[in-house]
Amino acid sequence: MLQNTFQELSHSFDNYIHYYNSSPIAYLTLNEQGVIKQANPSATHLLTGSNEVLLDEKLETFIHSSDQDDYHFFIKDLLDNKNDSIVTVKLVNQGIEYRQPECSGFRLIDCSRSLCKHQNPLLYIVLRGVVNRNIKNGVEFYLTIQNVSESLRNQEIITCLNQKLEEKVFQQNAKLVQNNLDLTKKITELTQSKKQLAEREAKLNAIFDASMEGIVTFDQSGLIVSTNMAVATYFGYSQQELINCPFNILIASLQSNKPFQILINQLITKDPTVLINQIYEVNGIRKDSSTLPLEVSIVEYSIDGALYFTGILRDISLRKQQELKEKAQLTKLAHVARLCLIDEMGSGIAHEINQPLTAIANYSQACLRLMYVEKPDFAQLSDILLKIHQQSLSLGQIIHRIKNLVSYQATLRTHTNINTLIQEVISLCMIDFNRNNIYICLDLLEDMPDIMIDNVQIEQVLLHLIRNSIDALKNSKNQRQLLIQSCIRNLNQVEVSVQDNGSGVHESEKNTILNTFFTTKVMGMGVSLSICKSIVESHQGSLDFISKTNEGTTFYFLLPIETLSNVSQ
Amino acid sequence: MLANKTAHIVYVVDDDFAVCDSLSVLIQASGYSVKSFLSAKEFLDNYDNKLPGCLILDVRMPPMSGLELQDNLLAKKIEIPIIFISGHSRVLDSSKAFRSGAIEFLEKPFDNDILLIRIEEAIKSDLENRAKNSEHELIKQRMESLTLREKDVLIFIVKGFSNKEIAKMLDISCRTIEIHRSRVMKKMQVQHLSQLAIMIKEQLM
């Protein structure tokens, strides 16, 4: 029995030894002084990192200095029979690098926590123990050591991850809040702009209706889509009446205005070459079929692929009246300038008239004498009478020309050959050329086409220019020369130039010479030139000059060949 | 009335052909010979001083005006009477013309009768001038035939000194003076002292 018991005991002791040595849990036996008396391989390995014997060494030497207090309190607790006490301590790094094989799939980037295994290679253990007082020379502590580094670290990782997650969540949250704020703001803005839009629309509508200009929109088939109040006022229709009417009913016989007709046709047939944005002058037609002059410009736009055209119509009857007034004004002014011109030319003209008069008087006196001789020489008499006839005719022409210049007449445009006009003007100035010793040279283009001009006014322009040149030549010491040329420019303009070899226009006068504000009080040179410019411009022409100091000045003007239809309006 | 009008030449200078031609016709119809020119230069080139006549001249002509021609003639000592005609009278022009000896300044168109009267006057004055000029020439010749002593005597005679006084002043005998005096009278072809006085006076003027 005893044998059996002993055998069992020895067997169990063997088992115990076996378990003790092979257990993965570390066991330690300490004496009263904390000196290690017994350690299983696990414990040895845990504490030393190797299988070195650690007997007779104090356990506290393995414990990190910062945890010494905890350890001693733990031993004390054990002595006080508080068997359930446990303590977590760090082991001293004994030069053995404790390395986790690898952080299980995680690598905590930017982790700043102290326990992170990448920062902190220390081992953490948990000590538990009991006290055995039944030993003759004191007490013994039986301790189990658990390596908790791994779990602590895992905990740490989780905490860390949690923290990161939290941060992320926080960030996300902040973003969401921001987005929310933005959205709210946008909604406010939208509401506001909607309000503004409504305001603007109201404003535009008010402008649309209050506009002095008629605004009419029509679609591709030429039917009116909308009009404003002005259109209704212009034409005497109500706004309702006009909707869906063809746009053409507002414009008097499109045939009378070719360019505009073409425009409308092109618009409706979607011709891409159409000239939009140009201003056209047309006659509008009212409901009572009276007409009014209009200026029309058309813009194009499309909504959902459908083309629309908006015409802006302006009543220009006032302006037309003004233009007529200005034209009349110019006519008057030109007349005054002509009178002044005649006045200036007075002595020359008197001479011009006196010459043939003197000749006639002489011839007729001679005839009288020749008639009363015994045998009158009739052949000679008839010769002389013929001369009288010629003289009186030429006198008549001079008087006629001067009468034209002096007479006040409304603008009357006729087909005129400019060369004929030039020659007539020269014959009026011949005396001045002679007196001032000026050599006159003509270079006129043959077969000059007729142009539609007011003869008297253009003759006046020529006279002014020629007299201006004569004035410029008066002080010239060179052989005084005047060259008058006519030619065709740009295929559709007649150019007349008057060129002298005088001293040239003074630099300071160049800018003002053609633009002097004209008054009827002082008819200086500049004034007459500005009248010339106005006259030529009223013929849709242009007048300018080139001048070189000491080489002379050339005044030239261009008149259009094809202004026949426009001018007569 | 002048006899033998055709012997007198009326020059017409005017740059206007009609005026020039009509004047020629008229003046010719009145019996004068006419030479007409369209410029002052043409006239100067063709003028013949030997025949008596007058000049009808337009004031304003390019390049040499009538007034310039007048100055030109004066400078050349050609004393042809000038009748100016002008398209427009300017006081300045006419007064200058008159100062330089113009006969008349007519404004176109003018009364032809007046022109013809003036032409006649002008030719008469030309004839007189020419006659006077030829008389002067004669007296000049006669005077040149006098000896130095005779000339001295002549001057004292004309001044009204008596033979005695002259003899005393020249320190020669009264008899010699008498001989000189009769020679002077003979050479100068005068009978009376008064005739001699007038002759010398005119010559000196």
Distance (Å, rounded) from C-alpha A381 to C-alpha A366? 9
Closest-CA distance of chain B to residue A376, Å? 11
* Position A569 pLDDT exceeds 50: no
Dist CA A25 CA A41 (whole Å): 9
3-state secondary structure of A350: helix
Residue A165 vs residues A172, A175, A464: alpha-carbon distances, Å: 10, 15, 98
Mean pLDDT of B76-96: 81
CA distances from A328 to A76, A128, A382, A410, A461 (A): 131, 127, 50, 8, 17
Q: How far is A366 from chain B (nearest CA, A)?
A: 4
The DSSP H or E segment spanning A484 is strand A481-489
On the question of pLDDT at A549 being above 70, the answer is yes
- Residue A436: list chain B partners with CB under 8 A: 62
With a CB-CB cutoff of 8 Å, which residues 32-71 of chain A face chain B? none
pLDDT, tens only, B96-119: 888 888 888 888 888 888 999 999
Which candidate from A359, A365, A434 shows the least CB-CB separation from B19? A359
Strands of B33-37's sheet in order across = B33-37, B9-13, B53-58, B82-86, B104-107
pLDDT of residue A284: 82
SS (H, E, C) B70-125: HHHHHHCCCCCCEEEEECCCCHHHHHHHHHCCCCEEEECCCCHHHHHHHHHHHHHH
Lowest mean pLDDT: which of A210-224, A316-330, A341-355, A357-371? A341-355
Strands B53-58 and B82-86: parallel
**The pLDDT value given to residue A22:** 84
CA proximity to A132, closest of A146, A124, A122, A142: A142
Look at residue B86 in the predicted model and tell me its pLDDT. 83
Q: Tokens representing B163?
A: 């033979």
Residue A280 in contact with partner chain B when CB distance is under 8 A:
no
Specify the length of chain A in residues.
569
The 10s digit of each residue's pLDDT in A110-120 is: 555 545 555 55
Cis, peptide link before residue B63, omega less than 30° from 0: yes
Please give the average per-residue pLDDT across B156-166, as a whole number.
Answer: 84
**B101 to chain A, closest Cα gap in Å:** 24
Cα end-to-end span (Å), chain A: 154
Q: What residues of A are in contact with residue B16 (Cβ under 8 Å)?
A: 355, 359
Read off the pLDDT of residues A18-57 as tens digits, 9 standing for 90 and up.
888 888 888 888 888 888 888 888 888 777 766 666 677 8
Q: What is the DSSP string of chain B?
A: --S-GGGSEEEEE-S-HHHHHHHHHHHHHTT-EEEEESSHHHHHHH--TTS-EEEEEES--SSS-HHHHHHHHHHTT----EEEEESS--HHHHHHHHHTT-SEEEESS--HHHHHHHHHHHHHHHHHHHHHHHHHHHHHHHHHTS-HHHHHHHHHHHTT--HHHHHHHHTS-HHHHHHHHHHHHHHTT-SSHHHHHHHHHHHH-
Residue among B18, B26, B62 minimizing CB distance to A435: B62
- The model's confidence at residue A101, banded by pLDDT at 50, 70 and 90, is very low
What is the C-alpha to C-alpha distance for residues A214 and A203, in angstroms, rounded to an integer?
17
H helices then E strands: how many in chain A?
14, 17
Test A370 with B29 for CB contact under 8 angstroms: yes
Partners of A435 on chain B (C-beta within 8 Å) are 60, 62
The set of residues, in sequence order, having a beta carbon less than 8 Å from that of B7 and lying 6+ positions away, is B33, B51, B52
Alpha-helical runs (H) found in A23-112: 41-48, 68-79
The reply to whether residue B16 touches residue A355, judged by beta carbons under 8 angstroms, is yes
Side chain identity at residue A276, one-letter code: I
Handedness of CA A157, A163, A167, A173 (dihedral sign): positive
Sequence-distant (≥ 6) Cβ neighbours of residue B134 within 8 angstroms: none
- Residue from B5, B14, B15, B16 whose CB has the most chain A CBs within 10 Å, to mutate: B16
Q: Which of A358, A384, A436 sits opposite B19 (nearest CB)?
A: A358
Output the pTM of the full model: 0.47
Residue A531's SS3 state is: helix
Q: Say if the Cβ atoms of B112 and A387 lie within 8 Å.
A: no
pLDDT mean over B122-141: 85
Q: Where are the alpha helices (DSSP H) in A488-541?
A: 525-538
Closest chain B CA to residue A351 = B87
AA identity, residue A81: N
Position A262 scores a pLDDT of 66
**Predicted confidence (pLDDT) at residue A279 exceeds the cutoff of 70:** yes
Mutate to test the interface with B, among A365, A378, A427 (most CBs of B within 10 A): A365
CB atoms within 10 A of CB A485: 17
Q: CB pairs under 8 A, 24+ apart, for B145-148?
A: B145/B187, B146/B184, B146/B187, B146/B188
| Interface A:B, Cβ pairs < 8 A | 74
* Close Cβ partners of B202 (under 8 Å, ≥ 6 residues apart): B136, B139
Q: According to the model, what pLDDT value does residue A105 have? A: 41
Residue B22: list chain A partners with CB under 8 A: 358-363, 366, 387, 391
Task: Calculate the alpha carbon distances from A356 to A268, A363, A388, A553 in Å.
Answer: 69, 10, 9, 34
Across the interface, whether the CB atoms of B109 and A361 are under 8 A apart is answered yes
Residue A246: strand pairing partners: A223
Name the residue type at position A91.
L
Which residues of chain A are within 8 Å of residue B29 when distances are taken between CB atoms? Answer: 365-367, 369-370
Query: Given the structure tokens 């209706």, which residue do they identify?
Result: A209
CA distance A471 to A484: 16
Task: Answer whether residue B70 shows pLDDT above 60.
Answer: yes
HSE-CB of A278 using CA atoms within 13 angstroms? 13
In this prediction the ipTM stands at 0.71
Residue in B18, B21, B112 nearest the CB of A365: B112
Indicate the pLDDT class of residue A75, thresholds 50, 70 and 90: confident
pLDDT of residue A470 exceeding 50, the answer is yes
Contact A108, A157 (CB under 8 A): yes
A96-105 long-range contacts, CB within 8 A, separation 24+: A96/A48, A96/A49, A96/A50, A97/A121, A98/A49, A98/A122, A98/A123, A98/A149, A100/A149, A100/A150, A100/A153, A103/A153, A103/A157, A104/A154
pLDDT of residue A56: 78
Q: Kindly determine whether residue A363 and residue B28, on different chains, have CB atoms separated by under 8 Å.
A: no
Query: Confidence class of residue A563 from pLDDT cuts 50, 70 and 90?
Result: very low
Tell which residue, A298, A200, A286, A209, has the closest CA to residue A249.
Answer: A286
Quickly state the pLDDT bin for A567 (edges 50, 70, 90): very low
pLDDT (0 to 100) of residue B205: 61
| Mean pLDDT score of chain A | 80
